[in-house]
Chains A and B, each alone.
Chain A
Amino acid sequence: MKQYNLNHLRELESESIFIMREVAAQFERPALLFSGGKDSIVMVHLAKKAFWPAKIPFPLFHIDTGHNFEETMIFRDELVAELGVQLIVGSVQESIDKGRVTEETGYNASRNLLQTVTLLDAIEEHKIDAAIGGGRRDEEKARAKERFFSHRDEFGQWDPKNQRPELWNIFNGRRHVGEHFRVFPLSNWTEMDIWQYIYLENINIPSLYFTHKRKVFKRDGVWLAAYPFMKRKPGEEVIIKRIRCRTIGDISCTGLSESSAENLEEIIQEIAATRVTERGSRSDDKRSESAMEDRKKEGYF
């Protein structure tokens, strides 16, 4: 008898495409959160597949901290042009100018936390009822508790102790006016799955992921990019190193790894051998044991 088996990546792909289509069917104004990082790029690829030959039926949605790598912004604009979709931008700088948030000060100042206010304001302004995010359950222990369809109340809050049960492949997106959902199509993917899929599908990613020379300085054992807005402590010297990004986020909290990986095969070998999680170099998670849970409850990604 003929064997009808899908390998695990194709099964994950099919699951994610199902989720994308479910969002388009159940929500009126969804938007796909796009950071320029590999996970959001894979999401865009899956959304393309889900609706082909039609265009992706929702806009990309970028929360711009103003502290992005230039490469990320160029990549974003080229992708939006290629897809022919709308781009919604929520600007943290505008939130600061309007007095909605106050810029952190000190050496570890970051705009990462401020993003939550900008994100929720933009969701309200554009009446977005489903924000599709690239969060994966393998990333972090609070994320491991996330549903595919994750309810947010009218304040954008997540109530992790009282989540809707999610049974079989039936997703409940029912909501009251003012509430919204975060939807995570990549819930079941691991970091390795993402890289293998990028390789398998030949997906274009920003050059930041490959080895390059950059001005960096070291803090708490992590290499950070040297930019004028990154205040350095005495003794934190700027040097030039061959590094690459394992994750891409806001410059202020993106740890860079020393690497000579020039192509996807080499990145995959590097990931296979690494003994540290990808968020291990994200300073935003190091603030406390419950840093992610606390941020998520307030409405973070």
Chain B
Amino acid sequence: MTEEKFSTKAYLGMDLLRFTTAGSVDDGKSTLIGRLLYDSKSIFEDQLEAVRLASIRKGNEHINLALLTDGLRAEREQGITIDVAYRYFATPKRKFIIADTPGHVQYTRNMVTGASTANAAIILIDARNGVTEQSYRHSYIASLLQIPHLIFCVNKMDLVDYNEDVFEEIKHQVSAFASKMAVKDIRFVPISALMGDNVVEQSKNMPWYGGGTLRYILENIHVGSDWNHIDPRFPVQYVIRPQSEKYHDYRGYAGRIVGGVFRKGDKVMILPSGFVTTIKSIDDIDGGVEEAFPPMSITIRLEDDLDISRGDMIVREDNVPEISQDIDVMMCWMSEKPLNTGTKYYLKHTTQDVRCLVKEIKYKVDVNTLNRISDGKELKMNEIARVSLRTTKPLFFDPYRRNRNTGSLILIDEGTNNTVGGGMIV
């Protein structure tokens, strides 16, 4: 066997694509992930051997690749995925992180978790069953979380004789539904994860399909534009004061840029104080940079000595975010204890910690039909609703559709400290 020499230069040049996979056990999700990993040599012999032995012990006929992704004992015993698992592989072009999320209705909270950091989502549809409620639900959650790229894989094409009409009909149904959602980029690929058609290799069984394979699409989606490069936003995370002789007067504001581009010499405004000053330098251990952009973690020094602490935000004078204590969000509820109006929670947004009061549940969304429903005063686990909040201090935010970082927040139960809700600012 000849091994290509590994190229460090090429490796360092790769970028990163985070994607999530949604589908139920029967859609062949594990088989698809297994194939992507296997074909990129990301499954090792000892892992495969362990899975092979476990499959035999359990009496499975084939090597059960789901055993590879189901990491918890309870998952393997019950044959279901309970929690998000993260998988890694690289092709010569790109490095990938898969957030493998369960598709059952009761685990919507995990889907939302996996989707929250994804650039792309793969939604699996079984060619034999066509579009189901679950397909609608997955699409809606992906669009609600503003995943920029959505790839519908019509799987098990081998079981419908690689029939083009089946694929076209599903494509037609999804497109009609998708027109109601706000997704920028939608693709369709007919595949057979089991046989390998159009996953890594172009299928010889579907000459009528002129598009790229799944891996080709994943390798070539443009991710650079997924960040907001327009509105400069720098939430102050930590203040660096060395207290050493050499850096006696040093005062740097550490954080991660979540929007726009910051340059040395830029005139900036500090929120909430409203002071205007100039960026003196953008520092890092390697001598600093002239300009910084998302998602860089850097340290900013300013010309003026101001009282700035964690939770403040550095922005541009001519481009400020919204500032308010009254905020409307699309809330996905994740706790067995329902959300009620009049209840107080801890709220985390960028680097700010505040408390909030739930003022109103305006309407719920039926995630299977996208219809609005107004029923009652409480939001149950795995439900999504538009909710009005009042915070103890003003937040500095942008609508979620404009910036996923300054537009997202979480609610925390004051008694248990558990994360109970994820909110996308409207």
Q: Which stretch from A33-41, A74-82, A139-147, A206-214 is at the chain B interface?
A: A139-147
Interface residues of A in 153-210 (CB under 8 A from B): 160-161, 163-170, 172, 174-176, 187-188, 190, 192-193, 196, 199-200
Contact B295 A6 (CB under 8 A): yes
- Shortest Cβ distance from A152 into chain B, in angstroms? 13
Interface residues of B in 271-323 (CB under 8 A from A): 283-285, 293-297, 299, 310
- Shortest Cβ distance from B395 into chain A, in angstroms? 13
Given contacts A160-B83, A188-B86, A265-B8, contact A166 B71 (CB under 8 A): no
Q: Which stretch from B194-202, B364-372, B409-417 is at the chain A interface?
A: B409-417
Contact A192 B90 (CB under 8 A): yes
Contact A4 B85 (CB under 8 A): no
CA distance A301 to B42 in the complex (A): 24
- 25 residue pairs bridging A and B, Cβ less than 8 Å apart: A4-B227, A4-B293, A7-B12, A14-B295, A21-B237, A51-B240, A53-B240, A53-B242, A53-B246, A54-B244, A137-B85, A138-B87, A140-B71, A144-B85, A145-B83, A160-B72, A161-B83, A164-B418, A168-B405, A170-B410, A188-B97, A274-B44, A277-B46, A289-B76, A293-B72
- Interface size for B (C-beta < 8 A) is 84
The interface residues of chain B lying within 8 Å CB-to-CB of A166 are: 113, 419
Q: Which stretch from B13-21, B151-159, B162-170, B174-182 is at the chain A interface?
A: B13-21
Contact A277 B44 (CB under 8 A): yes
A164, A268, A276: the one contacting B46 at CB < 8 Å is A276
B54, B72, B255, B334: the one contacting A165 at CB < 8 Å is B334
CA distance A275 to B417 in the complex (A): 43
The interface residues of chain A lying within 8 Å CB-to-CB of B246 are: 53
Contact B82 A167 (CB under 8 A): no
Given contacts A6-B296, A268-B8, contact A172 B254 (CB under 8 A): no
- Shortest Cβ distance from A56 into chain B, in angstroms? 11
Contact B419 A280 (CB under 8 A): no
Closest 10 CB pairs of A and B: A272-B6, A141-B71, A8-B16, A280-B46, A174-B417, A54-B242, A17-B297, A4-B293, A52-B285, A14-B297
Chain A residue at minimum C-beta to C-beta distance from B285: A52
How extensive is the interface on chain A, given as a class?
35 or more
Contact A275 B297 (CB under 8 A): no
Q: Does A242 contact B (CB under 8 A)?
A: no
Chain B residues within CB distance 8 Å of chain A: 3, 5-6, 8, 11-16, 44-47, 50, 54, 68-74, 76, 82-88, 90, 94-95, 97, 109-110, 112-113, 116-117, 224, 227, 229, 237-238, 240-244, 246-247, 250, 252, 254-256, 261, 283-285, 293-297, 299, 310, 334, 346, 348-349, 351, 404-405, 408-410, 412, 417-419, 422
